[in-house]
Structure 1
Amino acid sequence: MPKRLANTIPHATSVLISLTLLPLLLLSLLLLLPGCAEERQQSALHPEGEPAQIIAGLWWFMFYLLGAVFIIVMGVAAWAVFRPRIEPGEGDADEPVGDRFIIVSGIALPSIVLVVLLVYSLTVTVSLRQPDSAVTIEVIGHLWWWEVRYPDHGIITANELHIPAGEPVHLKLSSADVVHSFWVPQLHGKMDMLPDHVNTFWIQAGRPGTYRGQCAEYCGEQHARMSFHVVALERDEFDQWLARRAQPAREPTTDVHRSGQRAFMEAGCNTCHAISGTEAHGRAGPDLTHMGSRPSIGAGQWPNNYANLAGWIANPQSLKPGNHMPRSYLDADELHEITTYLLSLE
């Protein structure tokens, strides 16, 4: 094989690989773009609170800085691939790469980039220190739902947090079983929830609204269906919500509701669930004191309406396999009465 042809083959191969990979990279980026334009309810890049804005700022800083590094590296790689070839013995082809180039591109520039990232990330860490807060909420992760307590007000609920907008909220996070992770992307980063240990955390919503949260640590079969919502209210609305939720459950006012309460107790639902003001004091499952006012069931999976709630009571394993609530064997009248009673608990 001629010497010049032998030197040309590796060059042609490099060009072919580059021309193949570049379109694939661009196509991959284009395929990802639609995901950035749809639902923003769980997007860390669309922050709605001070801590989330700080974290998003770090992300964008890293994106632009490392994007510039990527472009420079690709430019140098392209120059190496497409620059004119010099045959051995011609010009400076036998001269080694200069030490200055190696020191600058291989040591100095990467060190500067890493130091800049370290300093900026430390600044972000300091700025995320927990501020003083007038509201404390305890959140306990279960398989696969969230227990939410307001210890200063004697309120226990499930799968939803109500907070005052514009104020930092102190969180005490723990787990009743395995490791979970609390994450509301639009309000803050992630924090692990550990058995027999309490991690302190905080969130803040800049304006009223509903923000979706998710367990961010794989915790078993229904991990993907372990979500919750944070509802941020104006301060006066939040105070009104606290006052309403601190009240015991509404007394049954109709025959159907009274029959439903009686069927609830006789079916043994009270051994796992609590309803304040009644004989139901169970703690294995979610507190149902104000069940009728909740927007969803199954840890944020289905709207809380008659059909979904009745289906859940009848056979929760068909909707969320592996959860700890067993199938019930109620007749049609009992199922109707219990469902109607729970929906009346507003």
Structure 2
Amino acid sequence: MTGCEEPDRTVFSPKGEAGEGSLDVIMLSIYIMTFVVAVVLAIFIYVLIRYRQKPGDNSIPKQVEGSMKLEMLWTVIPIILLAILAVPTLTHTFSLAEEAPKDEDPLRVKVTAHQYWWEFEYPDLGIKTAQQLHIPTDEKVYLELTSDDVIHAFWVPELAGKQDLNPGSTNKMWIDADEPGTYEGRCAELCGAGHALMNFQVVAQEKEDFDKWVEKRKNPSSEPKTAEQKAGKEVFTQNCMSCHAIDGTQMKTKGEKAPNLTGFAERNKIAGLLENNDENLEKWMKHPEQVKPGTYMPSFDFLSDEDMDNLKAYLQSLE
């Protein structure tokens, strides 16, 4: 509760059905725990007063050791309270893992976690992107989650609870957002040196705006227009294309070693952390380890100032 950067970006301000269900379970547990604390505290205070030592009174209070009635009481009550909490918790948890309906045409996204970035693939739309998950508002989006290396956890506090991503297996959940906005996501499973910096965003858009984004991703503007951008593309080809892919070009990688950079200029974050501007882009490319410890991104501090400027111009032209 105290560790969030912004007080309104918490599980206590849900923006969708899944988040509201999680908040209901949280509040139920808080009510139960508050009740237990209040009862125990009341009994404690009563015992302190009722059985305090009085001047001249050396009598021994009635002993209740081995009382079947008391032992049944403090055994049955916790069981009842746990049952009250367990039923809605399990119901909500299993409802979030429901399969995408086959008689409809739901939006499906394959989420793959890497050390330390996120890959989002829309198999029915032929789109693959990174760091930003775009979804339409007022619609369930079904996620298939897995990991490329170690155990990670997908968590968007305002939209849904946490779900582990395990290498070699796939977990499923759905999320939704009832209003447009950019929602911050985190990895919630200690996964290495860069764990605390493994951030991503969920961008919820009105259906019309989402459809426009899909169209732009299917027809990206990836070809350089100026001499500087053309020179930057050559620098990219020589240094970056073995790991990064850009849709709409001939630059493809053999594997998803690094984020897909299609539409890079429209992202508001670099590496999920830094504000997207030329200064931070150069900082990331020259000293990635200083920005995100443990990253596999190599340093490109050997590039000349001219090559670096050209490369930045090309990357910032990708829309």
Q: Secondary structure at the match of 2:250?
A: coil
Q: 1:284 aligns with which of 257, 282, 286?
A: 257
1:75 pairs, out of 21, 37, 42, with 42
Paired amino acid for 1:226 = M
Deviating more after overlay: 278-287 vs 329-338? 278-287
Aligned residue among 145, 161, 172 for 1:200: 172
Match of 2:60 in 1: 93
C-alpha separation between the residues in 2 aligned to 1:177 and 1:126? 26
Cα distance in structure 2, aligned partners of 1:85 and 1:293: 70
**Cα pair 1:249 1:276 within 8 Å, conserved:** no
Distance of 2:290 and 2:41 partners within structure 1: 52
- SS of 1:73's equivalent in the other structure is helix
- Tell me the amino acid that sits aligned with residue 82 of structure 1: I
| Count of aligned pairs between the two proteins | 311
Q: 1:216 offset after TM fit, Å?
A: 0.6
Counterpart of 2:308 in structure 1 is 335
- In the alignment, structure 1 residue 269 sits paired with structure 2 residue 202: no
Aligned counterpart, 1:11: none
Quote the offset at 1:164 in angstroms.
0.5
Gaps of 5+ in 1: 1-31
Change in Cα spacing, 1:126 to 1:261, as seen in structure 2 (3 Å) is closer
CA contact (8 A) 2:97 2:174 kept: no
CA contact (8 A) 1:175 1:195 kept: yes
Letter in 2 for 1:250: S
Return the letter of the residue paired with 1:287: N
Q: Secondary structure at the match of 2:27?
A: helix
TM-score by length of 2: 0.90
Distance in 2, Cα, partners of 1:74 & 1:244: 61
Q: Give how far 1:72 is off.
A: 0.7
Distance 2:59 2:139 in 1: 67
* Structure 2 counterparts to residues 117-196 of structure 1, below 5 A: 117-125=85-93, 127-130=95-98, 132=101, 134-196=106-168
CA RMSD of superposed structures (Å): 2.4
Deviations 1:262-312 (A, max 9, x none): 12112x2111111123332123111112111111011x2111111111111
Equivalents in 2 of 1:229, 1:118: separation in Å?
31
Relative distance call for 1:127 and 1:194 in structure 2 (3 A) is: closer
**How much has 1:240 moved relative to structure 2?**
0.7
Contact between 1:86 and 1:93, CA under 8 Å: does it hold in 2?
A: no
Change (3 A) 1:232 1:259: same
Question: Aligned letter for 2:249?
Answer: T
Q: Which residue of 1 aligns with 2:191?
A: 219
Relative to its length, the structure with more helix (as a share) is: 1
Conservation of the 8 A alpha-carbon contact between 1:212 and 1:229: yes
- 1:317-336 alignment runs, 5 A limit: 317-328=289-300, 329-336=302-309
Q: Is the 8 A contact 2:150 2:191 kept in 1?
A: yes
Identical-residue share of aligned pairs (%): 38
CA, structure 1 residues 250+123, in 2 after alignment: closer, same or farther (shift >3 Å)? closer
Q: Distance in 2 between matches of 1:212 and 1:263?
A: 33
1:45 counterpart residue number: 12
Structure 2: which 5+ residue stretches go unaligned? none
Change (3 A) 1:305 1:38: closer
After TM superposition, the score normalised by the length of structure 1 is 0.83
